[in-house]
Structure formats: structure tokens, C-alpha cells
């Protein structure tokens, strides 16, 4: 996961879906400043991760809006 965040040039807290039920019910906001715990939460509750994430070589983008894909081509 760390490699994905490096390629996105973002931290885990930058790619969270804060309106997801799992985010709210599991109080993910309480660990927002702890990247390691956030990664654990993302693995446990994958719905809280923005998606899709497109990876091409050493770059990655979140595919919303779809035009973002052009940024790494």
C-alpha cells in the first residue's frame, strides 16, 4: 500500500471516502493522522478507499473523474 501512496504522491488520509458507512461506523477519523493505522483500516474496510486507482509504471492517479488518467499517460 505504501508504494501505491508514493505513486499517487498522496498520503492515506487523502484517498479516504469519508461518507462511507464503514468510515463512520468504525470511527476512522480518530486515526486520521496515523498513516500505519489508516493503511490497516483500508485493508480491513476497502470501501473507504477512493477508487479506481490507476497505476502506470511509476505513476498513479485516482480515476475520478476519468480524465485524471491522462495525467499519467
Q: What pLDDT digit, counting tens, does each position of 11-67 carry?
A: 999 999 999 999 999 999 999 999 999 999 999 999 999 999 999 999 999 999 999
Question: Which residue range forms the structural domain that includes residue 68?
Answer: 2-72
Domains of the chain: total: 1
User: What pLDDT, on a 0 to 100 scale, did the predictor assign at position 50?
Assistant: 97
* Phi, psi for 61 (deg, rounded to 5): -145, 160
pLDDT of residue 23: 98
- The whole-number pLDDT of residue 5 equals 97
* Chain CA centroid to CA 50, Å: 5
4-14 burial string, b = 16+ CB within 10 Å, else e?
Answer: bbebbebebbe
What span, in angstroms and rounded, lies between the C-alpha atoms of 29 and 23? Answer: 8
Indicate which CATH number applies to the domain containing 51: 3.40.30.10
Amino acid at each position: 500500500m505504501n508504494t501505491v501512496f508514493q505513486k499517487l504522491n498522496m498520503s492515506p488520509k487523502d484517498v479516504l471516502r469519508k461518507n462511507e458507512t464503514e468510515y463512520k461506523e468504525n470511527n476512522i477519523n480518530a486515526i486520521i493522522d496515523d498513516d500505519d493505522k489508516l493503511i490497516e483500516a483500508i485493508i480491513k474496510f476497502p470501501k473507504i478507499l477512493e477508487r479506481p486507482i490507476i497505476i502506470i509504471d511509476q505513476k498513479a492517479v485516482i480515476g475520478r473523474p476519468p480524465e485524471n488518467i491522462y495525467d499519467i499517460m
